[in-house]
Amino acid sequence: MKTLLQVLAQDERAQIHERTLQVLAKTGVRVDTAWGRQILKDAGAEVDENTNIVRFPRALVEESLRLAPKEFTLGARRPGWDLRMNGGDCTLCIDGEAIFALDRETGERRPGMAKDWLDATRLIDALDEVGVWWCMVEANDRGDSMADYVGYLQGIFSNFSKHVQDATSTPEQSPWLLEVLQVVFGDKEAIRRQHPLSVLLCPLSPLAIEAPYTDAYLALLGWDIPVAVMPMPLMGGTAPGSLISTTVVGNCDVLAMLCLIQAGAPGTPFICAPALSVIDPRSGRYSPGAVENGLLGAAAVEMARYYGLPAEGTGGGSECYVPGIQAGYERAMNALLPLLSWPDILVGPGLLGGSMVLSLEQLLIDVEIFKMAKR
C-alpha cells in the first residue's frame, strides 16, 4: 500500500504552468548578476540592462525543461547511500540555518556554537532516515576567513558520510570547494559522475535573482554539480494572498533559475525545491505552524512532478520555541501533507521557532513523525 496525496487538480497544474509562462514573458525577473544576464541574453532572453529585468520567452522555458535531466543520483561517501532522484522513495534533509540552539544541559536558548553544529552533524549521520546534510545551525564562534571556510568543509566531510547539500556564498569560495571535493572524492570526472555534493540556491522571492550566491554557483558550472532551487515566497507578504497564486510565484522563481542554469551548462542536474509559506496577518511574520504550509508544500511537489523533475519538499514547521504538544501536532500536520505527495527529499526536521532554533530533542521526535507518516 502507498498513499498518494494530490491537492491540485490536473487543470490547476496546467493553469499554474500557463500563468507562470505569462509572468516570465511579460513581467520578467530582476537578475542582479551581470554574468547571469549575459548567459540568458545569449540563450534568447530579452534583457533590459537599465533595470536588470529579464523576460523569458516560452520557447526558452520549454527548452530548459527539456534539457534538465529527469533522473540522476546524489552520491555519498558512505557505500550504499547514493540517492536516486525520481526513484520513488523519500529521504530526510535536516532543516537549516538556525542561529540559536537549545542547550542540551540547561535547556536555555542561546546563540549557536561550533559544538552544536558538530553534535547535530554527528547525530544525523547516525540516523538512517536522514540522507542529506544541510547546515543546521550557524556557529557564532567560527570565523569568516577563507581558512575558516575550508575548515568548515573539512568538518562536514570528516563527520558526515552521506550526501551533502550546501552553498558557497561568494565566487571566491567556489575554487576552494572544488579543491576540497577533489581531495575527498577524486578528480573532476569522479565528481561529475558521483555528485557527492549539491548546491542549495535561494533566489530572492518574488521574481529576483541576486548576484553573490548565484555567481558563486555559476563559478561551478562544468562540474555537473546538482542544484536545488529554493525560493521562499510568503503568502500574503512577498506573494499574493491565495494558495494557488503563491504557488505561481514560487514556480516562476524556480523556472527562471532553471533557464539560467540550463543556458549556462545544459543538462545540469536540477531539483525543484520551493519553500512556499504563509504570513501571520496579525504580526506580519512567517507563520510556520499554519496548516496552509503543508498544503503549499504538497502543491510545490506536484508541480515538480508535472514537469517530471526531482522534487525537494518542505514541511514540519512550528511556532513553538521548545518541544511540546503544540510543536508535535503542528509538525505532524505540516510534514504529512507534502510527504504523501512523495518528494525525493523532505526538508524540515530539527528546528523550532520558525526554523531559528536548533533542538536535537525535536530532531529525534521529527524523525519519528517522518517514519509514521511514511507508512
What is the mean pLDDT of the segment spanning 304-333?
93
Taking only the tens place, the pLDDT of each residue in 258-304 is 999 999 999 999 999 999 999 999 998 999 999 999 999 999 999 99
Confidence of residue 1 (pLDDT cuts 50, 70, 90): low
Summarised one tens digit per residue, pLDDT across range 10-44 is 999 999 999 999 999 999 999 999 999 999 999 99
Query: By the 8 A CB rule, do 347 and 93 touch?
Result: yes
Q: Which of 163, 159, 161 is nearest to 132 (CA)?
A: 163
Residue 230 has pLDDT above 80, yes or no: yes
Among 165, 197, 161, 181, smallest CA distance to 312 is for 165
The Cα–Cα gap between 177 and 168 comes to: 8
Taking residues 142-170, what's their average pLDDT? 95
The single residue listed with the C-alpha cell 552553498 is 167
* Range 219-236 average pLDDT: 97
Q: What is the mean pLDDT of the chain?
A: 96
Q: What is the pLDDT of residue 299?
A: 98
Work out the average pLDDT over 69-83: 97
For residue 139, pLDDT over 80 is answered with yes
**Which CATH architecture describes the domain 10-374?**
Alpha-Beta Barrel (3.20)
- At 2, the pLDDT band (50, 70, 90 cuts) reads confident
Helix boundaries (H) for the chain? 10-22, 34-43, 58-67, 114-125, 146-159, 174-185, 188-194, 212-218, 243-264, 292-307, 325-339, 360-374
pLDDT in tens, 232-247: 999 999 999 999 999 9
pLDDT of residue 13: 98
Percent of the chain at pLDDT > 70 equals: 100
% of the chain surpassing 90 pLDDT: 93
Please answer whether residues 303 and 258 qualify as being in contact, where contact means their C-beta atoms are separated by less than 8 angstroms: no
Give the span between the Cα atoms of 201 and 226, in whole angstroms. 11
Taking the C-alpha atoms of residue 68 and residue 13, their distance in angstroms, rounded to an integer, is 19
Question: In the prediction, which pLDDT does 375 show?
Answer: 78
Q: Per-residue pLDDT for 231 more than 70? A: yes
Segment 170-198 shows an average pLDDT of 97
Q: 56-81 burial, b if ≥16 CB within 10 A, otherwise e?
A: bbeebbebbbebbbeebbbbbeeeeb
Whether the pLDDT of residue 4 is over 90: the answer is no
